[in-house]
Amino acid sequence: MKILDRLEEWIVILMLTAMTLLTFIQVVLRYVFNSGFTWALEMTTIFFAAMIFVGISYGVRVGAHIGVDAIVSRLPPPIRRATSIVVVLLCLVYAGIILYGSFGYVSKMYSVHVEMEDLPIEVWMVRAILPLGYVLLTFRFIQVLWSLITGKSDSLHLGDEAADAMKLKSEESQ
């Protein structure tokens, strides 16, 4: 799993870096040299999509997704755990629906052989990031579910912005 963890991180880092560099170069070319790449916006969009669809599974892994758990966090551990299991199962259903639809969409794009508007790449190759991202997301939700079922965790570990802000504030005052 460490390899997958690092791969997710590196894809997000590389996509963000590539997107930033390409946008910077495009701005310099446009405003300094009155030139530019016709394909820059499309390529930046591809980098952004890859970053987002890999980033959603990364967010589940590190507990970075926000959630409303004001009531659930006050429940006794067994009920909190059962509630969390139901929530993860619902998330898996959602991911499964999107996964099924995205495979259908990508297969249709594959069958029509349409290329991107500004790049000589077939659309299905770029859009394949959608099912790939949801396969990763499904895998991460299965990991969370297993952790809940086996008792290693009693709740979803969602981002707690209030606690993070209070911790940051206390660190700043020291």
pLDDT tens string for the chain (174 positions)? 788 889 999 999 999 999 999 999 999 999 999 999 999 999 999 999 999 999 999 888 887 776 666 677 788 888 888 888 998 999 999 999 999 999 999 999 999 999 999 999 999 999 999 999 999 999 999 999 998 999 887 777 665 555 555 666 677 776
pLDDT at 152: 84
DSSP letters of the chain? Answer: -HHHHHHHHHHHHHHHHHHHHHHHHHHHHHHHSS---TTHHHHHHHHHHHHHHHHHHHHHHHT-SB---TTGGGS-HHHHHHHHHHHHHHHHHHHHHHHHHHHHHHHHHHHHTPBPSSSSSBHHHHHTHHHHHHHHHHHHHHHHHHHHHTTS-SS---B-HHHHHHHHHHHHH-
- Whole-number Å distance between alpha carbons of 53 and 45: 12
Instruction: Give φ, ψ of 66 to 5 degrees.
Output: -80, 155
Answer whether 0.75 is exceeded by the pTM. Answer: yes
